[in-house]
Structure formats: structure tokens, C-alpha cells
Amino acid sequence: MILFLCSSSVFAQKGISEHISEQNSDTLFIQEKDKVAPTFFQNLFSGNLNWNFVVTPLVSYQPETSWAFGVAGAYYIKTEKKEGRTGVIGFNTAYTLKKQFNFNITSTVYFGKNQKWFLYANGGYKHYPDNFYGVGNVYENLLLDTNNNLAPVPYNSNNFYLTLQPQRYVFGNWILGLNMALRWENIKGLDKNFEQHYAIKGLDNYLMAGIGGVLSYDSRNNFFYPSKGMFFKSVIAHYEPILGSSYRMMKAQIDFRQYLTLYKEFIFAYQFISEWTIGQDKPFQMLSTIGGTDILRGIREKVWRDDVMATMQTELRIPVWKIFRASVFCGIGDVYSLKRWEFTTPKIAYGVGLRVQFNKSKANLRIDVAKQNYNKDFAFYITVNEAF
């Protein structure tokens, strides 16, 4: 369980000084200069201020990491055109008392005539601890083992990863692009017995380089907080030794979302997402997994992993007051093996959250608390933008 003990937000935006200088040229500013602060806060709580930059300091504790200190944030790239799309460059980083480090950056940047082109990029580096819980639903046996004969095995991983997806609107809301993925990793703490027992790969240093395509459809009325429309994205990547990969495999993902306005600003959203990892030689770190900050919040990421994962999650987004909104969410999902397809008790996650809007593009600071059906622990998440 991740417990965020302290969080605060520091904002920077370019409209404040411009707002003051515009009034300064008018004699009315001299007569009503005491109203500048009230006007600022009125604009703040009405959502009229257009923040360009948000940073959230984070403090957390996990048994695997001890105390961790980090920062999450995002920079929003706006166009001069009113109907233009807003790009974003987001990041998060953390450092622990056990000398572990994590850095990640994700961006969507639009360019070209009429913003027909855009580049999605995700990359980062991790020197971070993890636990090996087995493959498939082995962890269910671990939870039921009252004699403590089974336990997750800790290990450390050094991992560099990069995904680039240049894309273009080709017809209406349809988008076509390339998918290029690169991953390098080495781990310490797991011996060859794991490879034989679980029939897994990836215990040695490995490099994975893949190339494929992206096909998507996007009719959402807002990128960050849509109230209507649909989003569909299918991604495929083929990893081949000819490209420099240590293993030959393929990954494919389907992501479908829909947003419905029930009444005024009450929004119902749902998402179905499935990922398939296909091939005889595939490192266990690249198996499909559920859990984390976006998919089935409340479940620790990488506890459940296998060839296939499939999840369905829903969220009711509720207006509260001014820039504040609430959410109630739940989801269900599981992982499956392509060799021995079987159904077990599904993993269920649920929780509530608070949203704070900080710019006109409706980008939010997200605070969630969630639980799952396999243990009684709470999970806390503080980040920017919605889970889906």
C-alpha cells in the first residue's frame, strides 16, 4: 500500500502578470487595486485562470522502498487558436532512502498544419525494487497460505524504456501512425531456479526493440476531461532479433472508452482494455499486467501477470463546487494464460476520488483512494489527469 502523507500543489501560469498589466494601463486600476486579489481568486475558483504548469510534491512509504520523496507535474502547451488542441508534457520522479530512483516522462505534442500531426512519447529510467509474485494466478495460493511457506521474492531492476508513436489524423476522427518501442533491463535477486520453475525468460540482461502500428478513433469533446464522445486505440509491436531484440515476441493492445453526460455535469465513463503478449520467448517483465495508477486502481501493479490481461472499469464523475469534482469508480479484470486458459476469482477494485481543475483545458489534479477484493489495504494515488 502506498500512503501519501503529504501533498501540495505549486502552480505557474502566464496570465496573471498580463491580467495586472492590462488593468494597470487604466486609471480604474488605481481606484480598484485592492480588488485584484479577490478577482484573482474568483477566476481561480471559477476555472478561468489558464495554468500552464502544475507540480505536486509527494511523500510516500512502502515496505519495499522505505520513505520515498518525489515530484509529479505537467506542462500544458496551448495554441493561439481557440479551437486548437492542447498538448501536454507530464513527468514524475521519486527517490527513496534505499537509494532507489525512478523517472518517467509522457507527452502528447501536436504540430503541422491544422494540428493534423502529433507525437505521443513515453520514456524513463528505473532503478527500483519489485517483487516477483509468480506468473498467472499463483499469488492466490500465496494469499491462502496460512503457514507462510510462500512469499513474494524481492529483486532490483535497472530499466530504460522508450515508446514513440508519431500519428496523423487521416479521415475525420480516425488516426493512423507508427509504434516504435525500446526496452533495456537487467535485474538482481532472482536466480536460474526461477527460470526453470516458472518457465520464464528475462533473468539476464536483455534488449527489446519493436516496431508496429497504431490505429485509433477519437471523438471526445475534451482531451483531459471529456463529457461525451468515444476513444478507441489499437497498438501492435513486433520484436525481432533483426531489430536488436534478445527475444522474438509480439504485443497487442486494444483500448476502448466512452463518455456519457447523464445530467448537466454528471458524467459516466467506462473503459475496456486488453493486452496480449504472444510468443515462446518473452521476458516475464513484459507479460501483461493489471493494477497501478490507471488500470484497476487499488491493485498493486505486477502482482498479477500473464500472457493476456483484460479489464473493464467505470467511473461516475460528479460536480461538487466550482473547480472541485468528485468521482466514484470500480473495475474488474484478470490475467490469463494462452496455454491453459482458465477462469479464477476476478480481481475487483473500487474507490472514490477528488478532482481539482487548474486550467481552461479542464486538466485536473487527481487524488484517489481505492481498495480491492484480495486484501483490506487502502491504496492512495496523487497525480495529474484522469485514469482514462
Q: How far apart are CA 297 and CA 332, in angstroms?
A: 10
pLDDT at 73: 82
pLDDT at 24: 35
- Using one digit for the tens of pLDDT, what is the confidence trace for 175-194? 999 999 999 998 887 776 77
pLDDT, mean of residues 282-308: 88
Return the minimum-mean-pLDDT range out of 4-18, 137-151, 190-204.
4-18
Q: What is the DSSP letter of 297?
A: T
Residue with the bigger pLDDT between 258 and 10: it is 258
* First vs last C-alpha separation in the chain: 22
Q: Are 333 and 306 in contact (CB under 8 A)?
A: no
> To the nearest whole number, what is the mean pLDDT of the chain?
80
This prediction's pTM: 0.76
pLDDT, mean of residues 16-39: 40
pLDDT at 257: 97
Q: Are 385 and 364 in contact (CB under 8 A)?
A: yes
Q: Could you count the other beta carbons within 10 Å of the beta carbon of residue 14? A: 12
Q: Say which CATH topology domain 3-384 has.
A: Porin (2.40.160)
- Using one digit for the tens of pLDDT, what is the confidence trace for 106-128? 999 998 878 889 999 999 999 87
Q: How far apart are CA 383 and CA 92, in angstroms?
A: 9
Domain ranges, ordered by start, for the chain: 3-384
Catalogue the E-assigned strands of the chain.
3-7, 10-12, 53-62, 66-77, 87-96, 101-111, 117-132, 153-171, 174-188, 206-218, 229-239, 249-263, 266-278, 288-289, 305-306, 308-321, 324-336, 347-357, 364-372, 379-384
Residue 146, judged by CB atoms within 10 A of its CB (0-12, 13-18, 19+), counts as exposed
**Torsion (CA) 51, 55, 56, 58 in degrees, nearest 10:** 180
Instruction: Taking the CA atoms of 257, 361, 385 and 102 in sequence, report the sign of the dihedral they define.
Output: positive
Q: Are 340 and 356 in contact (CB under 8 A)?
A: no
Res 101 pLDDT > 60: yes
pLDDT at 45: 60
Res 140 pLDDT > 80: no
Q: Are 311 and 272 in contact (CB under 8 A)?
A: yes
pLDDT, mean of residues 133-154: 63
Write phi, then psi, for 385 (nearest 5 degrees). Answer: 75, 160
What band does 347 get if pLDDT is binned at 50, 70 and 90? very high
